[in-house]
């Protein structure tokens, strides 16, 4: 297992070493959409998991949010920290190296929102996804937001569909699941954007929506 984890980290470190801004520059369209939603919901503390070199975290900080930017790649975080050294938003971002499959190192209910962009499901097993989602639920405050854009390309090694997402979002009230095709840098992905709130919905209720 450790060898697989090391290979995964080495892959991303080597990718960012060769092409530091592999997925383009500037914030994603999804981040812009989520920023408005978070602002309207009175969000302050935001956790981005799988932040990469921080293009969306930097944007969130520029919008006034207090951000924890978390990634598995040390090289990606080196790039982000270099940006923070010259960016006026740096005081609002804390960059942390973390393997989220081993837990999110913050207390219960610490964050107002958790955000991810194209982190899931590539490279995660079903059991890892279940654990990470439970950790996200734990570190969110009641009524906190879980905002994520996930791949559902059927040609990918692993992919999400709406039924799978509903089955994994126990303890969340799902506001919407939206299928889209997006461009990221030189790539194009089929994705599902989902917007969920901690509390309110049980697994049985979500499952009934599929029937």
B/e letters for 61-73, b = 16+ CB within 10 Å, e = fewer, are bbbebbbbbbbbb
- The count of structural domains within the chain is 1
SS3 labels along 45-90: EEEEECCCCCHHHHHHHHCCCEEEEEECCHHHHHHHHHHHCCCHHH
Contacts 24+ apart (CB under 8 A), 10-18: 12/72, 12/73, 12/75, 12/76, 13/73, 13/74, 13/75, 13/76, 14/75, 16/52, 16/53, 16/73, 16/75, 16/76, 16/79, 17/75
Domain limits at 55? 2-208
Write the CATH number for 163: 3.40.50.150
User: Going residue by residue through the chain (211 aa), what tens digit of pLDDT does each one get?
Assistant: 444 455 566 655 566 666 656 666 789 999 999 999 999 999 999 999 999 889 999 999 999 999 999 998 888 899 899 888 887 667 789 999 999 999 999 999 999 999 999 888 777 888 898 999 999 999 999 999 999 999 886 554 455 777 888 888 888 999 888 989 988 877 788 899 999 999 854 433 333 333 2
Q: What is the structure's pLDDT at 203?
A: 32
For the chain, count helices (H), then strands (E): 7, 7
Label the pairing between strands 140-151 and 187-198: antiparallel
Please tell me the distance from the alpha carbon of residue 179 to that of residue 161, in angstroms, as a whole number: 9
Q: What is the structure's pLDDT at 202?
A: 41
Radius of gyration of the chain (CA): 16
Q: What is the structure's pLDDT at 114?
A: 99
Q: What is the structure's pLDDT at 187?
A: 79
Q: pTM for the full model?
A: 0.84
């Amino acid at each position: 297992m450790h060898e697989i984890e090391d290979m995964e980290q080495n892959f991303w470190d080597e990718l960012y070493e060769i092409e530091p801004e592999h997925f383009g520059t500037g914030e994603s369209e999804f981040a812009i959409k989520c920023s408005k939603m978070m602002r309207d919901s009175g969000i302050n503390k935001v956790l981005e998991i799988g932040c990469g070199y921080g293009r969306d975290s930097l944007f969130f900080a520029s919008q006034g949010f207090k951000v924890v930017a978390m990634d598995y790649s040390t090289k990606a975080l080196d790039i982000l920290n270099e940006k923070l050294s010259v960016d006026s938003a740096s005081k609002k971002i804390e960059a942390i190296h973390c393997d989220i499959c081993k837990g999110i190192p913050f207390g219960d209910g610490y964050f107002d929102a958790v955000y991810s962009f194209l982190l899931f499901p590539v490279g995660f097993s079903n059991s890892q996804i279940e654990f990470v989602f439970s950790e996200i639920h734990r570190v969110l405050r009641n009524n906190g937001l879980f905002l994520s854009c996930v791949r559902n390309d059927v040609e990918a090694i692993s992919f999400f569909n709406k039924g799978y997402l509903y089955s994994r979002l126990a303890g969340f009230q799902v506001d919407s699941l939206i299928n889209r095709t997006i461009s990221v840098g030189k790539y194009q992905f089929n994705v599902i954007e989902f917007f969920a709130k901690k509390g309110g919905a049980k697994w049985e209720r979500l499952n009934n929506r599929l029937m």
